[in-house]
């Protein structure tokens, strides 16, 4: 895992105490987990296909842990050193980048098979300074253009976010469109004050109408909640007594990671064998 340089940029949204509190709060954990599972559903990557995902505004890695448990390899970017510090303490599997997404990404074209972002996009609507390059449209354009290039064709990027007006939605969707994305909004439980969730589903490529905007969920959140609650309990079983996650690097995980590296053109990936993923005896 790469260690981010932890020098504070001027924009810090979470102090050390807030970052730890945010991460330990079980209600936050549940809400962010639910939204991550839904984002993965909307991402619609075929099961068993190895995939490298970008978690935009990854924070302390609450979503990242689910990505790992669901078998994905991932990298996360966040502006807050304190949040990344907590992610490192929690020993998440993803590569972490200290990055203001409003400055745009510097990833190689086509690096990622998809992206998710949970509760982050609304932050790009704040002007950082009065300089024109800090204006929300400027930052959104830079962000979406560089994200579009960092994604494979075809692929998707799914953002759960909290817009506070239709104008904000309009600005975000028009900047995404300008950057080359297709797609649109999916609103789950639109008639429930409590359960309503807004997802921006962006598509790269897949022309000819192959990528359809998924339908939002209707009615009450009950059945989905039950399924997600079971998944969360399963997830909690992967923690040891101190609250640290147990390793999920089993044979399947290793095979998926090797397959992903081969797909990405890495030529020194060892062959699979019956010994792959086998535990070594400790060397005393």
Ligand X SMILES: C[S@@+](CC[C@H](N)C(=O)[O-])C[C@H]1O[C@@H](n2cnc3c(N)ncnc32)[C@H](O)[C@@H]1O
Contacts to ligand X by CB under 6 A: 13-14, 32, 57-59, 62-63, 77-80, 83, 99-102, 118-120, 123
| Nearest distance in Å: CB 109, ligand X | 21
Tokens 């050390």 belong to residue? 16
- Which residue, 188 or 211, has its beta carbon nearer to ligand X? 188
Phi, psi of 65, rounded to the nearest 5 degrees: -60, -40
Question: Given the complex with ligand X, which of 4 and 182 has the nearer CB atom?
Answer: 4
Q: Which is nearer to ligand X, 59 or 182 (CB)?
A: 59
Distance CA 76, CA 57 (A): 7
To ligand X, the closest distance from the beta carbon of 268 in angstroms equals 33
> How many other CB atoms are there within 10 angstroms of residue 206's CB atom?
15
Report the residue closest to ligand X, judged by CB.
59
Please identify, using beta-carbon distances, which residue of 24 and 249 lies nearer to ligand X. 24
Q: 66: buried, middle or exposed (CB in 10 Å: 19+, 13-18, 0-12)?
A: buried
Helix (H, G, I), strand (E, B) or coil at 116: strand
Q: For 165, what's the count of Cα atoms within 13 Å in the CB-facing half-sphere?
A: 4
Smallest distance from ligand X to CB 264, Å: 25
Judge contact between 182 and 206, C-beta under 8 A. Answer: yes
- End-to-end CA distance of the chain: give it in Å, rounded: 26
Name which of 35 and 73 has its Cβ closer to ligand X. Answer: 35
In angstroms, give the least distance from the CB of 122 to ligand X: 9
- Least Cβ distance, residue 11 to ligand X (angstroms): 7
Question: What residues form DSSP beta bridges with 157?
Answer: 115, 202
Nearer to ligand X, 14 or 52 (CB): 14
Helix, strand, coil in percent for the chain, rounding step 5? 40, 20, 45
CB 206 within 8 A of CB 154: yes
Q: How far is the CB of 33 from ligand X (least distance, A)?
A: 9
């Amino acid at each position: 895992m790469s260690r981010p340089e932890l020098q504070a940029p001027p924009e810090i949204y979470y102090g050390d105490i807030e970052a730890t509190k945010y991460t330990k709060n079980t209600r936050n954990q549940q809400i962010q987990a639910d939204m991550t599972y839904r984002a993965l559903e909307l991402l619609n990557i075929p099961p068993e296909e190895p995939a490298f995902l970008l978690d935009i505004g990854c924070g302390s890695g609450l979503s990242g842990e689910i990505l790992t448990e669901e078998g994905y390899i991932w990298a996360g970017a966040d502006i807050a050193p304190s949040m990344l510090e907590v992610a490192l303490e929690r020993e998440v599997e993803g590569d972490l980048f200290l990055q203001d997404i409003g400055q745009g990404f510097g990833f190689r074209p086509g690096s990622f098979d998809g992206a998710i972002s949970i509760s982050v996009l609304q932050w790009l609507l704040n002007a950082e300074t009065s300089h024109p390059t800090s204006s929300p449209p400027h930052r959104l354009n830079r962000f979406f253009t560089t994200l579009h290039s960092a994604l494979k064709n075809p692929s998707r990027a799914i953002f759960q976010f909290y817009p506070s007006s239709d104008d904000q939605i309009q600005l975000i969707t028009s900047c995404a469109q300008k950057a080359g994305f297709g797609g649109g909004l999916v609103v789950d439980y639109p008639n429930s004050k409590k359960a309503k969730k807004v997802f921006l589903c962006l598509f790269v490529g897949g022309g000819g109408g192959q990528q359809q905007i998924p339908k939002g969920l209707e009615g009450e959140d009950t059945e989905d909640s039950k399924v997600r609650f079971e998944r969360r309990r399963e997830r909690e079983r992967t923690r040891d007594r101190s609250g640290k996650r147990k390793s999920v690097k089993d044979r399947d995980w290793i095979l998926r990671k090797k397959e992903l590296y081969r797909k990405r053109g890495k030529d020194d990936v060892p062959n699979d064998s019956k010994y792959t993923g086998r535990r070594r005896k400790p060397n005393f």
